[in-house]
Chains A and B, each alone.
Chain A
């Protein structure tokens, strides 16, 4: 899967839970999932499950804890896919 495709899917998955719709208009790899997009922290669990289903991989709790920004998520998914 190309980097662009990973990014698009990561954004799609995270956006479902974003409460700050303004922030969705100016996304980049530095966008913080909780602070900027105001995703409820509990929903990170669901986002990780959605990553697992979408990219057909397993994400450990330790790896999941490293995700803060969209860039973190894209990087982790890319690593686990290779």
Chain B
């Protein structure tokens, strides 16, 4: 069998509730700085959960980076994606093609997904315009903002990408799925380089349905920084977040040839579904599906479970946290005492839905690159069902060399993804 092409990560970009770029993000992760805030707008609207994670100052920063015409055509989620993509592309040592270039970059594409996407465009423009029978007043830019492929289309055009330009959507699995899809495309020889990731806005209409489902924590409105409590006994649901993470993934030889900085090699990546059978449902992951996803990734990576140093968990602060720990433990055949270090980036930034996996993949790679693990906040009252694993969860930031890291995401629809990175040395 022909050996598949090797794929590495050469660029990172992020917009998160506690940081507007990777430099700030490393600092925020090291300091364990929460980006969760109280929003009076949520209180006024009658939300039970009145806290959330919204990038601070990112939309202002975009005004200095993008033209008036571009800003006019971008909603919140697309703006975050563009900021993260620009940082990742620049970090990878790459530049957008000039507008008058004769042809696009044929070997480079983008898979930038979103879980829910442009509801701000819908609520602020489309719905009132149609309700008031003022269709003409919608103008020309609502379609490109509400179409599912809005984020990838905008990014593809900005940089001049000539390979596949696509937006995936698999709920909270979206960001990690995009990363794996880009990796697979390069492995198969269909592209040499892909911008991959996810993005999500913070419009209350996006968060309202989750509040109605009672899956958001309503018990810490007066203590926002304590509200996102993955792995704790007092976890009362997740905290909604927003932002974007984008990575440049690249075929190894292509990256080496141009002397690119390499963060890590992607050793394996699996996307699957539990099929809403064997304990799985629209909202709950089937343990069998999750474990199969992790095991298949290990097989692809050709490593033993003991080689995993660090896991960036999905860990949202719902009742699924203990289940996730047990799934990792069974799939890796590593019980308490032998378990890898694991933390939840959501403890600082909340759950950024379709962007979560991508932002957390960036967090994973920054920890791997800089040799540390960030604290998992607010789990002082560690979940009693998984007490044995507590020593494997950092409560404070510490230096920690990581050679191999695993990242997984799970989403509504019983969909899963798992990816394994190896530090490039």
Contact = CB atoms under 8 A, between A and B. Distances in A.
Contacts of A46: 72, 139-141
B69 A16 contact: yes
Interface in A28-78: 38-40, 42-46, 49
A49 B72 CA distance: 14
Contacts of A17: 68-69, 72
A40 B153 CA distance: 15
Contact of A18 (B69, B136, B137): B69
A19 B99 contact: yes
Contacts of B136: 49
Nearest to B68: A16
Nearest to A50: B139
Interface string A11-29: 0000011110000000000
A60 B140 CA distance: 16
B137 A43 contact: no
A45 B140 contact: yes
Contacts of B139: 45-46, 49
A69 B365 CA distance: 51
B70 to A, nearest CB: 10
A18 B72 CA distance: 12
Nearest to B69: A17
Interface string B186-199: 00000000000000
A9 to B, nearest CB: 15
Contacts of B141: 42-43, 46
A44 B69 CA distance: 12
Nearest to A49: B139
A19 B136 CA distance: 24
Interface in B63-107: 67-69, 72, 99
A13 to B, nearest CB: 11
Contacts of A39: 69
Contact of A49 (B67, B68, B137): B137
Among B67, B72, B140, the most chain A Cβ lie within 10 Å of the Cβ of: B140
Nearest to B136: A49
Contacts of B137: 49
Contacts of B68: 16-17
B341 to A, nearest CB: 49
B97 to A, nearest CB: 13
Nearest to B141: A46
Contacts of A45: 139-140
Contacts of A16: 68-69, 72
Contacts of A43: 69, 140-141
Contact of A42 (B67, B99, B140): B140
A19 B68 CA distance: 10
Contacts of A38: 99
B212 to A, nearest CB: 35
Contact of A19 (B69, B72, B140): B69
A52 B140 CA distance: 15
Interface of B: 67-69, 72, 99, 136-137, 139-141
21 contacts: A16-B68, A16-B69, A16-B72, A17-B69, A17-B72, A18-B69, A19-B99, A38-B99, A39-B69, A40-B69, A42-B141, A43-B69, A43-B140, A44-B140, A45-B140, A46-B72, A46-B139, A46-B140, A46-B141, A49-B137, A49-B139
Given A19-B69, A46-B140, 7 more contacts: A16-B68, A17-B68, A42-B141, A45-B139, A45-B140, A46-B139, A49-B136
